[in-house]
Amino acid sequence: MTYHGSDLTFTLVHAYEMTDTQFKYKCSCKKGFHCHGNGGDPFSNRIEYRSSHCERAPQSIDLEIRIDDRTVRKLKKQKSKSK
């Protein structure tokens, strides 16, 4: 899905998987998945805005990346428990 906001056009993608440091999403270039850093927060659901760095894209694509309950968390560290 692509939509226009202010002076940018965003392509909506879903974050497929989250690790301790990155999330990945399926790229429309069919090469596979691309990764971006998660800003140190692998736990919360949110929307992240990034620019694609796909070498196969004819131009830079602005992305709205949805991180939600469907995003698979593959974490090595445990969420700290409150006392």
Three-class SS state of 75: coil
Cα separation, 25 vs 14, in Å, equals 6
The per-residue pLDDT for 56 is 77
Residue ranges covered by each domain of the chain? 2-73
The per-residue pLDDT for 4 is 58
By 3-state DSSP, what share of the chain in percent is helix, strand and coil, each rounded to 5? 0, 45, 55
Judge whether residue 24 has pLDDT over 90.
Answer: yes
Structure tokens at 26: 């399926």
- pLDDT level of residue 82 (50, 70, 90 thresholds): low
Give the pLDDT mean for 29-34. 80
Neighbouring-strand partners of residue 36 = 23
pTM comes to 0.77
Instruction: Select from 69, 72, 53 the least CA-distant residue to 61.
Output: 53
Instruction: Select from 8, 20, 7 the least CA-distant residue to 52.
Output: 8
